[in-house]
Amino acid sequence: MYIMETNKFKCIVCNKYYKSYKSLWNHKKKYHDIIPANIPNISPDIPNISPHIPNISPEINNDNQLNIKKINKRNCDYCNKILSSYKNLHRHQQKCKLKDNEQDKKEMKKEIAELREIVAELIKNKLNNTNSNNTNNNTNSNNTTNNNNNGTINNNYITVVPFGKENFVQVTTEKEHLFILKQDGNNVLYKCVEMKHFNEDLPQFHNYIRLNNRTDDAKIYDENVGDFKTVDKNEIIDTVIDNAELDIDEMYNLHKNKINTKQKENVRRIVDKPYSKETEQRINLMAYDYRNMVINTHKKNKKHKSIT
């Protein structure tokens, strides 16, 4: 995150700066434990601590000095797995298999019921000496159902993944991961964002767009409204870059033994160091330049009319 006077909201856990209190609050909610806290003054010289701070614990040492101890809680709330960083913890908890266990059970029961219907139909067709073409049609219907669940194109309809919930690393190949990791300089980040949000082969991730380069508006697909909603480009850019850095970090941990030392150092710089204003401008422009690709994707759906 670049630091300038306008970025006056600082996270005291990881020292990142944000343009507004809302961006800082969203950051702390995602990556750090937050609890309402109202720590009283220990002495007249110690000011009150804001209630909007990460989870910290006050201690008094022998010199009556107030020590603030950060609680580095990095274990998953669902499976108790310990992660190496807050970013990785947030990423893991979004996808933890135990998180949506009950929902998974419901979906499994629904799929079992659908499979039973398909099997019953196949048996009926066999008993009635139905020709092989009907059997193939039933099989294709089954494949279409499965593909819909994976967020792909079926019968010209695309199941769009909500912004921020893209399983980009899981649906791409090792070859694609290495292609990103071996890019020079900031192209590691730019190529990751491009291949994730503006990829002809992954239309289900076409969930981020800028329709007008002369305003501060951007649009992201929101599952709660079932359509695109307007957001401030300067606020959403933090999330776009943070999520891309998480993807790069995950790819790096998978394939770091397959890239050279220079490439490793470059990836770590991208993931660990603040990014510049120019980086923000480049990605904001990318969201505008690729607008027609995203628009065309949603014209096929004939559903998300807010951007078509």
Residue 5 has pLDDT above 90, yes or no: no
100 confidence band (pLDDT: 50, 70, 90): low
Q: Which residue has the higher pLDDT, 277 or 139?
A: 277
What percentage of the chain exceeds 90 in pLDDT?
40
Residue 49 has pLDDT above 70, yes or no: no
56 confidence band (pLDDT: 50, 70, 90): very low
Residue 55 has pLDDT above 50, yes or no: no
303 confidence band (pLDDT: 50, 70, 90): low
300 confidence band (pLDDT: 50, 70, 90): confident
Under a CB-based contact definition with an 8 Å cutoff, are residues 30 and 90 in contact? yes
Give the tens place of pLDDT for each residue, 238-264.
999 999 999 999 999 999 999 999 999
List, as one string, the DSSP characters of the chain: ----TT--EE-TTT--EESSHHHHHHHHHHHS-B----PPPSSTTSPPPPSSSBSEEEEE-TTSPEEEEE----B-TTT--B-SSHHHHHHHHHH-TTTTHHHHHHHHHHHHHHHHHHHHHHHHHHHTT--HHHHHHHHHHHHHHHHHHTT-EETTEE-PPPTT---HHHHS-HHHHHHHHTS-TTHHHHHHHHHHHS-TT-GGG--EE-S-TTSSEEEEEETTTTEEEEEEHHHHHHHHHHHHHHHHHHHHHHHGGGS-HHHHHHHHHHHHSPPPHHHHHHHHHHHHHTHHHHHHHHHHHT--TT--
What percentage of the chain exceeds 70 in pLDDT?
64
Q: Which residue has the higher pLDDT, 158 or 218?
A: 218
pTM of the model: 0.56
pLDDT value of position 192: 97
- pLDDT, average across residues 144-150: 42
pLDDT value of position 226: 85
Q: Which residue has the higher pLDDT, 140 or 83?
A: 83
Average pLDDT, the chain: 76
Give the side-chain half-sphere CA count within 13 A for 93: 20
What is the CB neighbour count within 10 angstroms for residue 54?
Answer: 20
